[in-house]
Amino acid sequence: MSNTLISSDDLKLVAQYCEAIGIEYLPFKLDLKSVSKKKAYTDSGEMSSKQKALDELRSQIGDCRLCRLAEERTNLVFGEGNPDAKIMFIGEAPGREEDSQGRPFVGEAGRVLTNLINKMGLTRDDVYIANICKCRPPSNRDPMLDEMNICMKFVEAQIEIIFPEVIISMGKIATYALMARSEPMSKFSISRVRGKFFDYTTESRVIPVMPTFHPAYLMRNPKDKWLTWYDAQAVLRKTGMLKEQI
Ligand code: URA
């Protein structure tokens, strides 16, 4: 018997057909919501080439020891989500929970981010989420410039592979890193630049970036949530995902 892979969409059709003809029990559990959205596998059942490229990049990074953050990390947090995402969210660096789980934005700030993504009419499986620094800075201090610069080549490679239509940079650190400003980071203010698209140029592409507040800032300043919602709507509009109300 050959090992033909069945695509998630085919599985969904099978499940819908069984339901239609009255079969109430299937000998496997199917989470229709997650299988229909995840695009790591193509419709022909093969792993998408973007996912393969991301896996390849992850194995190249391996047990990275290029900076001091490696000494205290538990897990390197590469990033996760839909390799074909139209929208890529980029934060600063993993916190305690992210370091322990090896996944981005799974702590308190992650809940705020997940709420925003849901409010945009999307799920975490629709977007890609990563950080500038892949390892947790001790005691959640801000990443240092040399640590950011070392990790930027990994971030650039992720962006090149995913090639999202829009990047949302969350907070001062991520925005500063992507904007490549010449002014010192200490003088850089996210409030001054948020809400206005700028271009991020990779080796082969130009991608619009929407800078907005970091979810951790929004936890401390919930009154500013509407500004981030305003920025998210501009992103939805740019990607053609916002239904304008007439
Ligand atoms: N803050 C970040 O910037 N990234 C995370 O993954 C979690 C918190």
**What local confidence, expressed as pLDDT, does residue 84 receive?**
98
Using DSSP, how many helices (H) and how many strands (E) does the chain show?
11, 6
Nearest to 239 by CA among 162, 166, 161: 166
Query: Are the C-beta atoms of residues 9 and 43 closer than 8 Å to each other?
Result: yes
Residue 188 alpha carbon to ligand 1 centre in Å = 19
160 occurs within a structural domain: yes
| Count of structural domains within the chain | 1
Cα dihedral 6→12→15→21 (10° resolution):
-110
Pocket perturbation via mutation, ligand 1, pick of 97, 98, 117, 212 by most ligand atoms within 8 A of CB = 98
Beta carbons of 12 and 100 less than 8 angstroms apart: no
Question: Is residue 130 helix, strand or coil?
Answer: strand
pLDDT score for 181: 79
Task: Give domain status of residue 30, yes or no.
Answer: no
What are the pocket residues of ligand 1 if the criterion is a CB atom closer than 6 Å to any ligand atom? 91-95, 98, 104-105, 107, 109, 131, 216
Q: Ligand 1 centroid to 94 CA: how many Å?
A: 4
Q: Quote the pLDDT of residue 238.
A: 97
Rounded average pLDDT per 10-residue block, the chain, 246 residues = 44 48 48 43 75 98 98 98 98 98 98 98 98 97 97 97 98 96 92 98 92 98 98 98 66
Cβ-proximal residues to 99 (8 Å cutoff; 6+ apart), any chain: 73, 74, 75, 77, 135, 136
For residues 104 and 77, is the Cβ–Cβ distance under 8 A? yes
Question: What one-character DSSP code corresponds to residue 187?
Answer: G
Let me know: does 168 contact 188? Beta carbons within 8 Å.
no
Distance 92 CA to ligand 1 centre (A): 6
d(CA 33, CA 54) in angstroms, rounded, equals 23
Structural domain contains residue 26: no
* pLDDT (0 to 100) of residue 165: 98
CA–CA distance, 69 with 76 (Å, rounded to integer): 10
The answer to whether residue 28 is domain-embedded is no
Q: Domain with 171 in it: what CATH number?
A: 3.40.470.10
What separation in Å is there between the alpha carbon of 219 and the centre of ligand 1?
13
For residue 197, what pLDDT is reported? 98
The per-residue pLDDT for 33 is 39
Q: What is the DSSP letter of 47?
A: B
Residue 3 CA to ligand 1 center (angstroms) comes to 39
For residue 183, the enclosing domain spans 68-239
Taking the CA of residue 214 as reference, the ligand 1 atom at the shortest distance is 3
- pTM equals 0.82
